Amino acid sequence: MIDYPKSPEEIQAYLKNGLSQEEAAKRLGQFGPNQLKEKKKKSTFQLFLDQFKDFMITILVIAAIFSGIAGEWSDTIIILVIVVLNAIMGFVQEYRAEKAMESLKKMSEVQSQVIRGGKNQVLPSRDLVPGDLVLCEAGNMIPADIQLLEENAIKVDESSLTGESVPVEKEASKSITPSAEIDSPTHLFKGTLQTNGRGMGIILATGMNTQLGKIADLLQEKRPNTPLQIRMEKFGKTISLFILLICLVIFGMGILRGEDPIPLMLVSVSLAVAAIPEALPALITIALSLGAARLAKKETLIRKLPAVESLGSITFICTDKTGTLTKNQMKVVRKEASEESFPEGPNPLHLAMALNHDIQSNEEGNFMGEATELALVEHIVEDLGQKEYEQIQEKYPRVGEIPFDSERKRMSTFHQFEDHVLVICKGATETILDVLEKDISSEEIIKMSDQWASEGERVLAFAGKLIPSLPAEEEWENLEKDLSFWGLAGMIDPPREEVKEAIQECKTAGIQPVMITGDHPETAKTIAEQVGILEEGRLSISGSELRELSDEDFEKQIEKISVYARVSPDQKLRIVKTLQSKGQFVAMTGDGVNDAPSLRASTIGVAMGITGTDVSKEAAHMILLDDNFATIVRAIREGRRIFDNIRKFIKYIMTCNGAEILTITLAPFLGMPIPLLPIHILWINLVTDGIPALALAKEKAESNIMKRPPRPPKQSLFADGVGIHILWVGTLMAAVTLFTQYWAIRNEWHWQTMVFSVLAFSQLGHVMAVRSDRDFLFKQGLFSNLPLILAVLGMIALQILVIYVPVFNKLFHTEPLNLPELLICGGMGLVVFHAVEMEKLVKKWRRNS
């Protein structure tokens, strides 16, 4: 049991210091990390055994048994060896993909602000322990079960625990109750989302001891298949039935020709295994997972795997301004104070800038908090000096507050001011004008604010008043009226240097960037023009103007609007849904609690990794670890590359499988013996499909990847000539192989070994040619994909071993080829490579004609 502070004096002392580092370390060892136990993962051995569960692998094993019964023990051994090798390859890739996803999951762990030893610290939530003092702010996920000791207007969405969709109001407790029911008004529970207010509380339970831990089995994640996987699984089932039908036809024809049924059955079964693309869904998952790991290195954390696939379809990027298009390094460049003053007191504007904020100091003494407030505090400290700033903080302590929210667009704090209470209100100019005394002329204030905004500055207004005493909390909102105007502060946040180039790259790629911001319309337009978002012919609109537009009129204009200023979160959602109703695919950035609906509704929700709240990150498909617009563009480029490479190995595998089907199917019709033994088909399948196909996932981006329009998400995998390529190249590969068989039989050469080699070399030549849909191999650079080059050279070396090493001759039923025969095989194998390169030349001629 933990000895919590009991008396009010002990609790007040605890609120200043929290746990000591030594005690926290002791409790971490006692209670363990603050995380839920996941379902027991499969062991490495079980993961390996799962590779043998595939139906087609079962058929292969049956084929090996039949080979043994027929006395072909060498075939049995080789088939089983290949089955194991395939299993090892599948296991290694799945294991790597699983590890990549685990590392990504660790990167998305929640951070929490705590007080230990009297100092503010930001820690991973897994390091929290019972007794820790946690600061609770709107937008954050509750990291453990907590009892509130201080609070201001806190509301919590507890739907993940109770199913109740309406946020619940919370209140502070004067004493600590170590256990609580879920409906307790003074407790916060792990996994719920704080939607409003701020406060401080003490952790009562962590990990599996929390209320969420008690129902943890209901919260285990199950990763859904991506749309691409679903399409490929459906395609695989269809083609499997078609190929099995072909196998039955081949078997029946062989029986009618009087051939031995056992070898015939083995050929039919192995043909089915070689031709059915059963590995494609796994290869796609691996490519997406490894792609997500690559994106993480480029400051993009993919939370939901389908997002990788969807990136290539984005047509609109709706982005916030501050921190995304700009540096988020606000600096006060000028301020204008009113003539208001306090008798023998400090300047009201200085006082407001020094007190109305939530900036905290960390253990190194550096300021921490939101960028705008940080700029105000740094400016006032520079003006007054650190000592005077600290004296103001100590002399006028905060006694209450109404936190900022996106609807009011202002924040009010209340401070003890001698025997009175000081009300300070800070916010956008127009929202402060709403709460001023009626006799204050607003024309000069608006004129100055608009002038500063037109020069790219963000303008904040300050107002306040003195009142005799602080009323009851439910009456605080009434204090935001009849205020005196205290002044304006103008800040600038310059655009990031790389954003202008990223905006231009978007437009070249057929993607329309749109700025959506809560800033002043003039500020928004100035920044949008500087970075290239707002150009001639494009429109800018404010939130108030948008509110006046009917849905019909908005639909007519939306594709021409590039800047939205002073918009509310519900208007963000309206923008997303209207764009989607026009057939557009939208990436939406957001960082606040109220951005969650628009993030969830968009095609790709993009949360900010630095400034984003836990709520926004939970709703998003991906997280920008550096809050940079250019990173979104890099992610889209990488997403297009990943999808291109998936299409390449689909094109490659299906072409090779088609060639194998045609070769074995057509040979008997042409009066020739079945060209390949089961062991040959299995070997070709292993050598030419799996390893080179995986190496294709490492292929660099096409030269035109950001110069073409977005891909329609419902577009078939076989569109853009992929299906035609599979048909004609598969047919050509089969024709080259069958011609080799005919020529070799006629000249009494080692025809079966030659057919075996020509098919293998043709497929390796094909994989080199499909590296690009448009660029010739010499233009790409032979060694620009080193893993693929090593895979191809390794496969050629293995094929040579199979031809010339006596032990392999016996196992694979091959014969050593003389030099002319080997050269003929190499030459025939290059026919497909040159034909596919010629296809690129024809496509180039068509593009230019």
pLDDT tens for 646-667 read 888 888 988 988 898 889 888 8
Task: Specify the domain boundaries for CATH 3.40.1110.10 within the chain.
Answer: 331-492
- pLDDT above 70 for 215: no
Q: Is 127 a catalytic residue?
A: no
Please classify residue 659 by burial: count the beta carbons closer than 10 Å to its beta carbon, then call 0-12 exposed, 13-18 middle and 19+ buried: buried
Q: Using CA atoms, how far apart are residues 328 and 339, in angstroms rounded to an integer?
A: 32
Angle, helices 722-746 vs 751-769, to 10°: value is 150
Task: Identify the pLDDT of residue 836.
Answer: 94
The more confidently predicted of residues 254 and 623 is 623
Task: Identify the pLDDT of residue 224.
Answer: 46
Nearest Cα to Cα of residue 720 among 732, 735, 704 = 704
Mean pLDDT along residues 433-457: 89
What is the pLDDT confidence band of residue 513, given thresholds at 50, 70 and 90? very high
The more confidently predicted of residues 273 and 305 is 305
The more confidently predicted of residues 162 and 411 is 411
Task: Specify the domain boundaries for CATH 2.70.150.10 within the chain.
Answer: 8-31+109-217
Task: Identify the pLDDT of residue 223.
Answer: 45
Taking phi over 0 as left and psi of -120 to 50 as alpha, with beta for the rest, 378 belongs to alpha
Nearest Cα to Cα of residue 600 among 570, 621, 614 = 621
Task: Identify the pLDDT of residue 221.
Answer: 44
Task: Identify the pLDDT of residue 121.
Answer: 85
Most confident range (mean pLDDT) of 505-509, 656-660, 712-716 is: 505-509
Mean pLDDT along residues 621-638: 88
Mean pLDDT along residues 127-137: 90
Angle, helices 348-355 vs 386-395, to 10°: value is 80
Q: Using CA atoms, how far apart are residues 292 and 300, in angstroms rounded to an integer?
A: 8
Percent of the chain with pLDDT over 90: 31
What is the pLDDT confidence band of residue 219, given thresholds at 50, 70 and 90? very low
Any idea which fold 331-492 has?
Answer: Calcium-transporting ATPase, cytoplasmic domain N (3.40.1110)
The more confidently predicted of residues 534 and 182 is 534
The more confidently predicted of residues 506 and 178 is 506
Q: Computed over its alpha carbons, how large is the radius of gyration of the chain?
A: 34
Q: Which of 29-33, 211-215, 586-590, 838-842 has the lowest mean pLDDT?
A: 211-215
- pLDDT above 60 for 105: no
Residues 6+ apart with CB under 8 A from 438: 482
The more confidently predicted of residues 615 and 185 is 185
Angle, helices 73-107 vs 280-297, to 10°: value is 30
Alpha helices in 153-226 (DSSP H): 159-162, 211-214
Strand ranges in 552-616 using DSSP code E only, listed in sequence order: 561-565, 586-590, 604-608
Range 47-100+230-295+635-848: architecture per CATH: Up-down Bundle (1.20)
Nearest Cα to Cα of residue 459 among 611, 323, 335 = 335
Q: Using CA atoms, how far apart are residues 269 and 262, in angstroms rounded to an integer?
A: 11
Mean pLDDT along residues 335-359: 87
Task: Identify the pLDDT of residue 269.
Answer: 65
* Residues forming a β-bridge with 522: none
Instruction: Tell me the torsion sign for CA atoms 348, 349, 354, 357.
Output: positive
Task: Identify the pLDDT of residue 77.
Answer: 75
pLDDT tens track for 520-569: 888 889 889 989 999 988 999 998 999 999 999 999 999 999 999 988 87
The more confidently predicted of residues 759 and 306 is 759
Any idea which fold 314-326+496-627 has?
Answer: Rossmann fold (3.40.50)
Could you say which DSSP state residue 19 is in? B
Please report where in the chains the tokens 């997406």 appear, as a residue.
288
Q: Compute the half-sphere exposure of residue 499: CA atoms within 13 Å on the CB side of its CA.
A: 26
Out of 3.30.420.10, 2.70.150.10, 3.30.1300.10, 3.30.465.10, the CATH code matching 8-31+109-217 is 2.70.150.10
Task: Specify the domain boundaries for CATH 3.40.50.1000 within the chain.
Answer: 314-326+496-627
Which two structure tokens, joined as six digits, stand for 307? 């997002």
Task: Identify the pLDDT of residue 275.
Answer: 65
- pLDDT above 50 for 222: no
What is the pLDDT confidence band of residue 218, given thresholds at 50, 70 and 90? very low
pLDDT tens track for 23-73: 888 989 888 888 876 656 667 777 777 777 665 566 667 667 766 776 667
Element (DSSP H or E) covering residue 6: none
Q: Using CA atoms, how far apart are residues 690 and 687, in angstroms rounded to an integer?
A: 7
Give the 3-state secondary structure of residue 606. strand
Q: Using CA atoms, how far apart are residues 678 and 680, in angstroms rounded to an integer?
A: 5
Could you say which DSSP state residue 50 is in? G
- pLDDT above 70 for 9: yes
Number of C-beta neighbours around residue 271 at 10 A = 26
Q: Using CA atoms, how far apart are residues 240 and 262, in angstroms rounded to an integer?
A: 22
pLDDT tens track for 732-762: 999 999 999 999 999 989 999 999 999 999 9
Out of 157, 320, 595, 644, the active site residue is: 320
- Is 522 in contact with 457 (CB distance < 8 Å)? no
Could you say which DSSP state residue 478 is in? G
Task: Identify the pLDDT of residue 58.
Answer: 67
Q: Which of 120-129, 208-217, 618-627, 704-713 has the lowest mean pLDDT?
A: 208-217
Average pLDDT over the chain, rounded to an integer:
83
CA distances from 696 to 45, 115, 651, 689, 787 (A): 28, 50, 11, 11, 8
Task: Specify the domain boundaries for CATH 1.20.1110.10 within the chain.
Answer: 47-100+230-295+635-848
